């Protein structure tokens, strides 16, 4: 029952999608009469995303205590996070290249030229900045808006006592936007159900072949990465003893991740396991909470799979050097964005759409993939923080500390 309660929203969402798909198979193109329902839901999601991103990112940074001397830990932690994200993404790209995701149908003609680099300097300028403030408020300029939100958060943090009222505003706004998104997602089963009814009714069941292929690919890559990647990281951190203490003490965090479906909810289990893995409390208390927000190996893998699927849907090659480099950069950003925002996967998906010029119809395909891979993605996202904390300890202190028995951790 606990599992059902934790994944109730996912079950309802999948139920709505399945019901819509069945309706599309049964009634065919007649179901297009309910297409506005799906479009209304997506439009609500799009309009909520801009203020949601601003308050979530700016509030998280503004609340950091600038007086803490955490620079060295944060620096090493950031390098570890970045390295593991890129390794997981590159591993997925290699797998996608060997076992490409093909799509024989096109959902719609894209509005832009997907995957075409153009002038690199001009594209980089457009990617990172806009020349008018109001342009930041468009979902088509997600990355410049994220950068602006980060700068705002740092400015609020640096303002000290005089900025307290503004920091309170950011925190309050973040809580309100969480509730707005929660309310909108209540309509998710109906909205996405209506959308998939129209897609299946007009395009046909060929869609399911692409989803089955991509999901199989994700779970194979994810499980291989979980076993071999995390084992390798534990070996780097502490040799063969590091492998033993990691897997011995990572069972409870893994079960917690599956049971709760949340990286944030797994933080207590991770903090209790970290001292048993030889991670000192001063490192664990920084790396694990921040990792729950910023470090998402599972999201990195899913981002590559989603991009490969959508590129295939529009008949574009996911293999030229510029597209690959851009995808790696997007993967890192998406992994960070997804962690800091409830239902942040949708924000990350819209960021992909913005950068590559995917049309509106690409979003539901990304949402369904993200929903179906969520259990394994949560395991990778949350328990990857433990092995990252072990490596951070190894690089900072030269070795892991003597594992602390559970009775001495002070955590319950």
Check pLDDT > 80 for residue 154: yes
Position 121 scores a pLDDT of 65
- Which pLDDT value is given to residue 366? 79
Helix axis angle for 35-62 and 362-372, nearest 10°, is 70
- 61-75, 143-157, 319-333, 371-385: which range is least confident on average? 61-75
Task: Name which of 109-113, 206-210, 252-256 the model is least confident about.
Answer: 109-113
Tell me the Cα Rg of the chain. 22
Contact by Cβ (8 Å): 291, 385:
yes
pLDDT band at 117 (very low <50, low <70, confident <90, very high): very low
User: What is the pLDDT at residue 251?
Assistant: 87
- State the Cα–Cα distance between residues 199 and 195, nearest whole angstrom: 6
Name the residue with higher pLDDT: 337 or 212. 212
What's the pLDDT score for residue 228?
95
pLDDT over 90 percentage in the chain: 18
**Is the predicted pLDDT of residue 129 greater than 80, yes or no?**
yes
DSSP 346-396: HHHHHHHHHHHT--TTHHHHHHHHHHHTHHHHHHHHHHHHHHHHHHHHHHH
DSSP assignment string, 54-84: HHHHHHHHHTS-TTS--HHHHHHHHHHHHHH
Q: Output the pLDDT for position 69.
A: 47
Q: What is the pLDDT of residue 113?
A: 46
Q: What is the mean pLDDT of residues 159-184?
A: 88
Query: Which residues, other chains included, contact 9 with Cβ-Cβ below 8 Å and sequence gap of 6+?
Result: 185, 188
Average pLDDT over residues 284-296: 80
pLDDT of residue 259: 60
The mean per-residue pLDDT over the stretch 260-266 comes to: 70
Assign 261 a pLDDT band (cuts: 50, 70, 90). Answer: low
What pLDDT is stored for residue 392 in this prediction?
93
How high is the pLDDT of residue 4? 64
In the structure encoding, which two tokens stand for residue 153, read together?
């958060």
The residues near 188 (Cβ < 8 Å, ≥ 6 apart) are 9, 12, 13, 16, 41
The band of 222, judged by pLDDT with boundaries at 50, 70 and 90, is very high
Q: Where residue 111 falls among pLDDT bands split at 50, 70, 90?
A: very low
Q: Which distant-in-sequence residues (6+ apart) come within 8 Å of 23 by Cβ?
A: 31, 193, 197, 200, 201
Indicate whether 409 pLDDT > 60.
no
The CA distance from 332 to 325, in Å, is: 11
* pLDDT the model gives residue 29: 77
The pLDDT of residue 130? 84
State residue 398's pLDDT score: 87
Residues 6 or more apart whose Cβ sits within 8 Å of residue 50: 137, 138, 139, 145
Read off the pLDDT of each residue in 171-189 and give the average, rounded to a whole number.
Answer: 84
Rounded to the nearest integer, the mean pLDDT of the chain is 78
Residue 173 pLDDT grade (very low, low, confident, very high; cuts 50, 70, 90):
very high
- Residues 53-106: pLDDT tens digits? 788 778 877 876 655 545 677 788 889 999 999 999 999 989 888 887 755 444
370-382 average pLDDT score: 84
């Amino acid at each position: 029952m606990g599992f059902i309660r934790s994944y109730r929203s996912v079950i309802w969402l999948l139920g709505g999608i399945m019901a819509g798909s069945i309706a599309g198979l049964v009634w065919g193109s007649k179901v297009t009469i309910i297409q506005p329902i799906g479009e209304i839901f997506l439009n609500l999601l799009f309009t909520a995303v801009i203020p949601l991103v601003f308050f979530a990112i700016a509030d998280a940074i503004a609340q950091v205590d600038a007086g803490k001397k955490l620079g060295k830990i944060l620096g090493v932690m950031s390098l570890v996070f970045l390295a593991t994200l890129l390794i997981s993404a590159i591993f997925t790209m290699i797998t996608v290249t060997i076992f490409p995701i093909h799509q024989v149908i096109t959902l719609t003609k894209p509005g832009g030229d997907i995957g075409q680099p153009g002038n690199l300097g001009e594209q980089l300028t457009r990617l990172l900045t806009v020349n008018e403030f109001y342009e930041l408020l468009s979902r088509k300029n997600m990355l410049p808006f994220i950068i602006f939100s980060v700068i705002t958060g740092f400015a609020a943090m640096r303002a000290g006592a005089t900025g307290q009222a503004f920091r309170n505003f950011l925190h309050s706004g973040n809580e309100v936007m969480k509730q707005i998104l929660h309310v909108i997602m209540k309509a998710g089963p109906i909205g996405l159900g209506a959308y998939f009814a129209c897609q299946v009714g007009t395009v046909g069941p060929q869609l399911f072949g692409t989803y089955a292929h991509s999901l199989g690919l994700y779970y194979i890559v994810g499980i291989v990465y979980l076993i071999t990647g995390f084992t390798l990281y534990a070996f780097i951190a502490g040799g063969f003893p590091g492998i033993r203490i990691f897997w011995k003490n990572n069972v409870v965090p893994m079960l917690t991740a599956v049971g709760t479906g949340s990286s944030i909810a797994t933080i207590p289990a991770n903090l209790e396991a970290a001292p048993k893995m030889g991670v000192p409390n001063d490192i664990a208390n920084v790396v694990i909470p921040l990792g729950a927000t910023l470090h998402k190996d599972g999201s990195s893998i899913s981002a590559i799979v989603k991009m490969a699927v959508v590129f295939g849907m529009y008949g574009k090659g996911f293999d030229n050097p510029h597209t690959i480099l851009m995808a790696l950069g997007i993967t890192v950003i998406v992994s960070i964005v997804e962690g800091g925002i409830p239902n942040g996967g949708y924000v990350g998906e819209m960021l992909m759409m913005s950068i590559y010029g995917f049309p509106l119809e690409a979003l539901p395909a990304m949402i369904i993939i993200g929903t179906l891979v969520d259990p394994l993605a949560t395991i990778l996202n949350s328990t990857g923080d433990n092995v990252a904390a072990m490596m951070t300890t190894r690089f900072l202190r030269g070795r892991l500390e003597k594992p602390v028995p559970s009775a001495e951790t002070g955590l319950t």
